[in-house]
Chain A
Amino acid sequence: TAGVKKDIEKLYEAVPQLVNVFKIKEKIGEGTFSSVYLATAQLQTGYEEKMALKHLIPTSHPLRIAAELQCLTVAGGQDNVMGVKYCFRKNDHVVIVMPYLEHESFLDILSSLSFEEVREYMFNLFKALRRIHHFGIVHRDVKPSNFLYNRQLKRYALVDFGLAQGTPDTKIELLKTAYSEDQQGSCLQTNPIVALGNSVSVTSPKQIAQHSASKAADRRSSSLSKVQMKQGRGEKEDSVHHSVQRSVFGERNFNVYSSTYQENSSTKLIKQSKIIDVSSRKLITKKKIISTKTVSNGAARKAASGCPLNLLCDCYATDRVCSVCLSRRQQVAPRAGTPGFRAPEVLTKCPTQTTAIDMWSAGIIFLSLLSGRYPFFKASDDLTALAQIMTVRGSRETIQAARTFGKSVVCTQVVPTQNLRTLCEKLRGTNSSSKRSQGEGPSRSENNTALSVAADKPCAPETLGKQIQHLQSFQEGDGALEAKAADMKGWDQVPDEAYDLLDKLLDLNPATRITAKEALLHPFFKDIRL
């Protein structure tokens, strides 16, 4: 269309090196932080190949751009992790060139995948995750649209390191930078600021005691990335006190101690979910911010910080909140990603997040595949998402697990944990009751299912009828009973191992949650043919 044509022209204009090298055909994706185009290029090998050109938003910090590139060059190009062909830059315009993998839409194929295809899909996802986790990359945004799948070719690619973070021991040098910048950002927000003439150092209360002023000044004078890498490594030892946090500058945390704050706090909970991606992009906070914004706020905060910070009240773990606890500073933890795929430790703002958050996301994908529902969770905010997780995994279990990572969760509702097989089969409409009775198609069993849950939550009979019709047309196609039996595609005999693996992926405790390496060795993948 006209708009896309114009975008393509503008891209050629912004990065003229593309002009004779790529025929840009169309725009195939547009997100907050980038646009992706499909192009062809002539290679020295003599072949013309399809390429994906990712044009990053010019407001991206060079360190972030470099970190994404480094993920692609170091970890990518193998084991189902997207690699990079080349990268073009003119000023603030950066275009990453990647091989193009034609891929399916997850939603379109969800209902037609055979069980064996699901097994292969998960196996290949874990291969990609094992690879990036080996390099100490936390992807943070694992979901179907970031795991390209070509069903025919059986090819897979994990893409988009735009939100990635490094583990404390990451092998991606530039993620160390981002890692510590996170820390810095959070310090700016949550910790007192010490200003030293022109050079400003950001420190936690603990550090204030430890670091001499000269040392702090020293740090600032060296180059940004060096300082941050240094800090990043230092962080390892100190990680208990220091949360991996992100700056959320634009989101107004400055008036934490002002009287108007509490009024705002209500809308805040709701708003947060809409600015996730934006906030996640604020991890790089520069001198500029330090000198302009925080210093002015710093004074006020410093004055206040001594006192309300450590004030305890009787609200802890109760159904109450008071002016004392509400006046404390907000904890900031990374939460970049996509709502329905966030692990409980992300949703509850656990400051230390590991590669285990990607494994949770993989579990959510698996849950979608097994239940035939996408998206599985549908929540507009983090705590609603947590509530939905509780309805699947149990409230008591969720609360218990949260305690292990330092969170007190109070929930008025007591909901039991679901049997994963029963849950998935009911949602998919392949109840064990139906699989034994040959003549009865899935529609019939869905009917039973629907009626049986009607006790839980009544559905209007007419609506129910319509739904069943809908389901019939959806699932049966031509309606031949014979075809239906063949259509089960292995779904009539999902092994226990599948649900055992799902259980281990959706482990509420990140410390015990299965790793990618372990998942590949899980009995579910025994004898996988690839």
Chain B
Amino acid sequence: GKHVTAQKSKTGRLKSPFIRVEDRSRQYRPFYLQLLSFPFLNYCVPKPYSPFEVDKKYPGQKPTQSKERNKINSDKDCGMPAQFPQKDKKKRGYCECCGKKYEDLQTHLESERHRNFAQSTQYKVVDDIISKLAYEFVAYKDDETGKIKRTKCST
């Protein structure tokens, strides 16, 4: 949120500097951003950091940098679009199957509504695609995987 001055007043003149965007149809609500300072290219920021590394008063600052570095690193390893989520177990989100927001993923998945959907024929569209894929795996011998899976149950 840093340099963003939230629009306190509903109406009136925007405080400079700002950006205001509106659809030319004039049918939609304009949206805007009032900034404390307009971004600028800061060539002083050391490589490989963004030249818009604005928040740091002095880009050389160590703590912020290492923090940033971690963030970047965590993003990189995975081929995934999203960031690592918070470690907490309660995962909030939106269930597309049920069309419903949930506070805790696990609780939602166990809800009757979701379980009904999970066991429904809605997944036929997925199965249809799967049925066209060639299965080319050979099962590992039981004892091998057994070792991995059930370490405690070795005979």
Contacts and interface: CB of A to CB of B under 8 A. Distances in A.
Given A20-B145, A61-B96, A89-B123, 10 more contacts: A31-B85, A36-B79, A88-B130, A282-B96, A316-B26, A321-B32, A375-B72, A384-B39, A386-B19, A391-B38
A78 interface: no
Interface stretch (A126-134, A426-434, A503-511, A512-520): A426-434
Interface string B105-121: 10011000010011100
A60 interface: yes
A341 B42 CA distance: 19
A429 B8 contact: no
B73 A107 contact: yes
A317 B38 contact: no
B81 interface: yes
Contacts of B82: 31-33, 277
8 contacts: A59-B108, A145-B81, A270-B4, A277-B82, A327-B29, A383-B21, A391-B39, A413-B38
B130 A28 contact: no
A386 B52 CA distance: 12
Contact of A310 (B27, B35, B85): B27
A407 B23 CA distance: 5
A145 B79 contact: yes
Nearest to B2: A380
Interface size class of B (residues with CB under 8 A): 35 or more
A250 B102 CA distance: 10
B101 A58 contact: no
A146 B81 contact: yes
Interface residues of A, number: 155
B137 to A, nearest CB: 5
A24 B145 CA distance: 10
5 smallest CB-CB distances across A and B, nearest first, come from A29-B78, A31-B80, A31-B82, A92-B118, A383-B33
B67 interface: no
Nearest to A262: B10
B153 interface: no
Contacts of A34: 80
Given A374-B72, A381-B4, A474-B46, A250 B101 contact: yes
Interface in A425-479: 426-429, 449-450, 453-454, 456-457, 459-460, 463-464, 466-467, 470-471, 474-475
Given A162-B81, A285-B99, A111 B10 contact: no
Identify the interface centre among B19, B53, B85: most chain A CB within 10 Å of its CB.
Answer: B19
B21 A387 contact: no
Interface string B40-55: 1111101111111110
Contacts of B128: 66
Interface stretch (A40-48, A116-124, A206-214, A487-495): A40-48
Interface of B: 1-4, 6-8, 10-14, 16-33, 35, 38-44, 46-54, 58-61, 72-73, 75-85, 93-102, 105, 108-109, 114, 117-119, 122-130, 132-140, 142, 144-145, 148-149
Nearest to B74: A30
Contacts of A107: 48, 72-73, 76
Nearest to A23: B148
Contacts of B61: 463
The B interface is mostly helix, strand or loop, or mixed, namely loop
A64 B26 contact: no
A270 B6 CA distance: 8
Contact of B19 (A42, A309, A387): A387
A28 B28 contact: no
A21 B93 contact: no
A509 B48 CA distance: 28
Contacts of A250: 94, 101
Interface string A234-276: 0000000000000001100000100000110111011000000
A373 interface: yes
A329 B26 CA distance: 11
Contact of A32 (B60, B85, B95): B85
B81 A174 contact: no
Interface in A301-336: 309-310, 312, 315-317, 319-323, 325-331
Interface string A65-96: 11001100100000000001111110110100
Contact of A418 (B3, B27, B41, B96): B41
A294 B122 CA distance: 23
A309 B25 CA distance: 11
A114 interface: no
A496 interface: no
